[in-house]
Structure 1
Amino acid sequence: MQIVNIHNAKANLSRLIDRAAKGEPFIIAKAGKPLVKVVSINQPASAQARRIDFMAGQFSVPDDFDRMGDGQIEQQFDANA
């Protein structure tokens, strides 16, 4: 991803925006420190996926997750009654 300082971004803003709109995001930096990321509004959803935690994308939750083990749980409560 291209990093552009503020001065160059001002001087080339139209060109940079055209490239970002075509799917080439860029970062604007001040004194070498990244400040903002410019991306297209129409960027595909998959490219906008957010990282939720360190395990994101490494597991999946089954559709019946909230019903898993129902029988065993009922047996344990019935056995203690």
Structure 2
Amino acid sequence: MKSSSIVNVHEAKTHLSKLLSRVEAGEEIVIARAGKPCARLVPYEERRPSRRIGLFRGIEVPPEFFDPLPDDELAAWEGG
């Protein structure tokens, strides 16, 4: 479980480097303004977009898929 500490804005501004060292060590720091929490310092985590490997595996597109549309269907798509 993460430990957390609450510090006021003045202390955060004065001791930012020390607070960052504590965050890098795994501590969560909550910054409060007038006693009310307003921000949280947590370690940075690189986010990679999720990939769905093989989502279209096995799907084949037949060659006629790329044939031109018949005139009446083309007109329907074009709002005619």
**Scaled by the length of structure 1, what TM-score is found?**
0.50
Q: SS of 1:8's equivalent?
A: helix
Q: SS of 1:23's equivalent?
A: coil
> Which of residues 39, 57, 62 in structure 1 aligns to 2:42?
39
Q: Do residues 11 (structure 1) and 41 (structure 2) align?
A: no
Percentage identity across paired residues of the two chains: 45
> Which of residues 8, 26, 39 in structure 2 aligns to 1:23?
26
Name stretches of at least 5 consecutive residues in structure 2 with no aligned partner. 46-80
- Displaced runs of 4+ in structure 1, greater than 3 A? none
Kindly tell me the number of residue pairs found equivalent between the two proteins: 43
Name stretches of at least 5 consecutive residues in structure 1 with no aligned partner. 43-81
CA RMSD in angstroms, aligned pairs only: 1.5
User: 1:26 corresponds to which letter in structure 2?
Assistant: I
Q: Which has the larger radius of gyration?
A: 2
Question: Displacement of 1:37 after TM fit?
Answer: 0.8
User: C-alpha distance in 1, partners of 2:5/2:25?
Assistant: 14
User: 2:11 corresponds to which letter in structure 1?
Assistant: N
Q: Which has the higher helix share?
A: 1
